Chains A and B, each alone.
Chain A
Amino acid sequence: MTSATTVPPAADAAAAGGRARAERAGHLLQQHGALIVLVLVGAVSAVAFPDFAGGANLANLAVAASFTAMIAVGMTFVIITGGIDLSVGSQFALGGVLAAWASQYGWVPALLLPLAVCGTFGLVQGTIIARTGMAPFIVTLAGLLGARGLMLAISDEGADTYLVKSAAFARLGQGTLLGLAYPVYAALALFALGGLLLRRARFGQYVFALGGAADSARLMGVPVARVTAAVYVLTGLLAGLAGALNAARLSSGVTILGTGMELDVIAAVVIGGTLLTGGAGALSGTLAGVLLLGVIQNVINQIGSLTSAYQQVVSGAFLAVVVVVQRYLSRVQRLS
């Protein structure tokens, strides 16, 4: 056999060693970058603003972040498959209005109706994406408009505000345990369940395989269409649930909520280290990303002189930095 290679093996191995170290460091930063920044920002805020670390403020922060957090669990799955779901903000508003309306029949319908409607909505979107191969961006953009239109239709263009009629249902959003509101526990439970589903269930493996190499996944027997549809059902269910619990907290279905929320959710997931190109990501990162955005918002509220509009400027700048760093890290880790 003649060989076509003349690179000395020793030099090769040394280069590979250095590369492996860089890769590992890149991987670490990718996965836990958001957590590191969260701890830093949190520590600085605690020193700079005496009110920040107070129990009441942190409890508020947690509740405010919990709704984004629930949806972000589903969005992490969607983005790992290489997709995107722009309709979650509209579904969140739709879920809230449906829940408030249904609360006149008790807390069970108030919880189940938004789940059923938004879950179905997600199923339709997911099926279209999986069966027609249309870009998730386009399909869920249509979904964004459609879901908000549906919400406006049932609330008479926002003129009818449904108040929550069931005290039991209102308690789901307003009740507290150890100083934290119930939705916070719901979000944490969903992260735990989502983590099991993603890392320890076969479905999670399929999600990673699909996003990492769709053609290979198909050849390896992954039911590509079903998995694709399922992740959009998941975001639909979670957006509906978050909308319902938020309505319970506010005691009414507020029609103007959720506009632009999908972008906050996506930003949190991406800041948390999930690759927009798919195939890699973790829920721990998403949780850190959600909290980081929550802390930024909270801190800007503490600086009385800045209007809340600056919160978006800071979040946007943050996202830009993260995306640039991700691109660099992907190259170091040779992901792309």
Chain B
Amino acid sequence: MKKLLLGNEAIARGAYEAGVKVSAAYPGTPSTEISETIAKYPEVYAEWSPNEKVAAEVAIGASISGVRSMCCMKHVGLNVAADPLFTCAYTGVGGGLVAVVADDPGLYSSQNEQDTRMIARAAMIPVLEPSDSAEAKAFVKRAFELSEKYDTPIILRSTTRLSHSQGAVELEDRVEVPDKPYEKRIDKYVMMPGMAKKRHLYVEDRLNRMAADMATDPLNRIEYADKKIGFIASGIAYQYVKEAMPEASVLKLGVLNPLPKALIEEFAKNVETLYVFEELEPVVEEQVRAMGIKVIGKEIFTRQGEYSANLLRKAVLGVEDYEAPTAGLPARPPVLCPGCPHRSVFSVMKRLKLHVIGDIGCYTLGAVAPISVIETTICMGSSISTLHGVEKAKGKDYIKNWVCVIGDSTFLHTGVNSLINSAYNRSSGTVVILDNRTTGMTGHQEHAATGKNLKGEPAPAIDLETLCRAIGVTRVRTVSAFDRDALTAALKEETQADELSVIICRAPCALLKGNVFPNKVFVDAAKCAKCGACITCGCPALSKNADKTAKIDPEMCNGCGLCASFCKFGAMEKREVLKK
């Protein structure tokens, strides 16, 4: 049966059909749907782990015990999981182990544009890269076989475009793979210097063997056509080549590490002009050059963003045949939703003129005008330690008007260890946990403090307040994110205190299922002074009528009342309405 599947759904399906038994991940666009899909198969144990490092270790443990296992992450998640995975490259596997890593060329929802293939090379982990949903499913299955054959973890690399595109996929049955018997192998699984030295030799030999074998493996293939021009391409970029120049010859790589040297040499010999067409970094190009082969790559193709067939046509053929876009249109950046608790918190921080160190989540949108309060965003869990660094550099008094903000899910991801550091090293900073009871940006995933797990089953819920106290923070309090007076008082007090403090701002995400909004805000045009103060709260439900009076879209308004609290003229009223 053929079914339309997202690349991510196809990856999950492939793992299911390959007999995977354990899957662990932390949500991260564009990889999230892999876990959400695989969780629906009762034969697979699937979990949200607090972060990617933990997820990778769970998968490694399952693999060592002899079952096929998987961990999934976005590209920056690989940085978090790098520690276990780099060494797992040495130990190798028991049951097949696949780490799915989804890159984000074009930065649709990420803080950088790093290329997983470069990290995989550093880790000496083989990489497979499919070019559509059908291949995604097939490649995952091959990845498990190769993992066991070569005794190595395998990275299956996706990109946003592949993960979030749908294509027809032929569904097949799951094949139950017998567990491998667990072996006590101290030489293989205990990576202390003596053993690791020997395993490093094994890793080198393994990559050499694989490179030789992959020259004749169907994962890599040459499609000869007109031999004047030849492209080396993989993943979604391969589709762009086929679209733009179907007459050209192509070496389609399915294995991106190690590269099949013999096959590349053969292809290069048979085409007149050779191009490497790869998104992001010149990973293949540089290796091909190192083989002494003349090739055209990044001198005409950009390292930035996503590729397209038009980009290829323009760079290679000099053709650009379409209307010019309309210039000067207003941008439409993403914004915090109407009724978002973060907006309320930010409005208080703005009024108090606080410097706000941000973290990764929806609340990063607090950097967008007109809110513009977030001043730094680095990576998951970084806010608490960044504030600590500012304090240690500049002294306690310097941060009396500074706070950091971190979401509940991000706090549990890697914020906890930063808070431990701040407590242990006597920080006096103010940490604000924006507790919206979910992992918001990625689409409402459960986490260790929500009371449910990935399978939707009841789970123990960590009490954040107790956790902070256990770490040694004595000044911990919880306020409603919408109680601006209480929050104002708390922020004033805690930023002035000479001790580390945590303020938990709690209110569920406005989009969270089951969240009911009994109120809406209405404008009394007669009282409206047309001052525009309400607009500065940055809610997309607000705008102005032609006569400059405030207007609220009743469909969008969730009745949080933040705008009304900005109005000095009593022109906005929060009223209870029947929810449709």
Are chains A and B native binding partners rather than an unrelated pairing? no
Binding site for A on B (CB under 8 A): none
- Which residues of chain A have a CB within 8 Å of any CB of chain B? none
